[in-house]
Structure 1
């Protein structure tokens, strides 16, 4: 929804305040709004990343750490996973879950900017981002940074809401976004606001084919996408070339 903002900085401030407002209920609302499918989608994204046992993974815009945990389950105790997010409130939830034993100990949560990742080139076997690409100021720059820090032959993976094209999913999805999400919004926070905006931003984002083209544009190869629940979400996977 770039047209709603006068600058990238204005969008960044809005996203910061939005996620701070919903951090405490973010996990629950994800379950409600995806009909309890989000955990399964994250595990599929982690599997498609091809992250090896003992490998190193990066989860960008990690939020409360659910996709980060799915990566940690793949690498095992000998591997390492970094979860990066720019929002301190979301990271506080992730760290509390880790202290309670709900997230793996080998995850290192850090605060940082997805537009300028604080890691050297060729550091990770995979870089993932879950439900965050549409909310960053410049998604191409984020994908370029993710590609930079991934090793040759490694993967860049995006799990994101998408656009169903078939009947009856397309009209059902429109009804869900326009009618049901504002009701969920009011019930959860007492006013129409963050969740309705996030749902609208999903509809304004790229289609599956358009995002695939961006993956190729930044130099990723063997790009594929996998529709989830009729295309209401999709996982995109691209490989960093060996040369």
Structure 2
């Protein structure tokens, strides 16, 4: 695919248009995003995220970047762990998602060690070697230039710091793969229509998952971005994978 073209779901679009199209999707679904996450994953997304936190090795005093952090699920847990001597930056490219996250966490009393930053993963507005841990959960597949974003994340990690990418991936079981396809392309848009009155955004989400690199490809991309000891852990038969890499 040429440099000035990219995928938006199954469509081929101009690279400079994708960011805006993805933004429209998340402006549309932001208010009901958490409800839909619970419905779509039958609540299992909470277990995937808990496993990510366990694998992150976050400790009191750490500086954490929760990228594409949206409504703040991970940020909330990290803020508790790092405590007053640490800090969490909740960053999202989408202002609607960021506002929902900030309002939600502020209402729940999470103030003091959380910052909110509107940021593009491809060119993060942070100094080199800033973070002990970076997580990006269900966000990388929406980024236009994933290689550039991974290099940007590696740059702002401290030496010895860890990047964790939680993302939908390629099911390892053929039966699961068939069932998952059927569910994604029929049930998801239907639920999207019912809950958010927006079937098209959930059709895009299903398609974007299919266009995302598989487990081994993403692992190689992380290595190419300069990370070492890269590995992945499949969950729910590979429907979701957690990739982990360390900055040397």
TM-score tier, shorter chain, comes to over 0.9
Distance in 2 (CA, whole Å) between partners of 1:197 and 1:102 is 34
Structure 1 residue 189 displacement after superposition: 2.9
Structure 1 residue 62 displacement after superposition: 1.2
**Residues 72 and 90, structure 2, Cα contact 8 Å, conserved in 1:** yes
**Residues 32 and 196, structure 2, Cα contact 8 Å, conserved in 1:** no
Structure 1 residue 238 displacement after superposition: 0.3
Q: 1:223 to 1:176 in 2, by over 3 A?
A: same
Q: Name the residue aligned to 1:226.
A: 233
Q: Name the residue aligned to 1:137.
A: 144
Structure-2-length-normalised TM-score: 0.92
Q: 1:104 to 1:33 in 2, by over 3 A?
A: farther
Structure 1 residue 97 displacement after superposition: 0.8
Q: Specify every segment of 5 or more residues in structure 1 that has no aligned partner in the other structure, as ranges.
A: none
Structure-1-length-normalised TM-score: 0.94
How many pairs align? 241
Q: Once structures 1 and 2 are overlaid, which stretch shifts more, 13-22 or 102-111?
A: 102-111
Give the secondary structure class of the aligned counterpart of 1:224. Answer: strand
Structure 1 residue 163 and structure 2 residue 170: aligned? yes
Distance in 2 (CA, whole Å) between partners of 1:39 and 1:106 is 23
Q: Once structures 1 and 2 are overlaid, which stretch shifts more, 74-83 or 201-210?
A: 74-83
Give the secondary structure class of the aligned counterpart of 1:6. Answer: strand
Q: Name the residue aligned to 1:201.
A: 208
Structure 1 residue 100 displacement after superposition: 0.9
Structure 1 residue 84 and structure 2 residue 78: aligned? no
Q: Name the residue aligned to 1:6.
A: 13
**What is the Cα-based RMSD across aligned positions, in Å?**
1.5
Q: How does 1:202-217 map to 2 (within 5 A)?
A: 202-217=209-224
Q: 1:113 to 1:191 in 2, by over 3 A?
A: closer
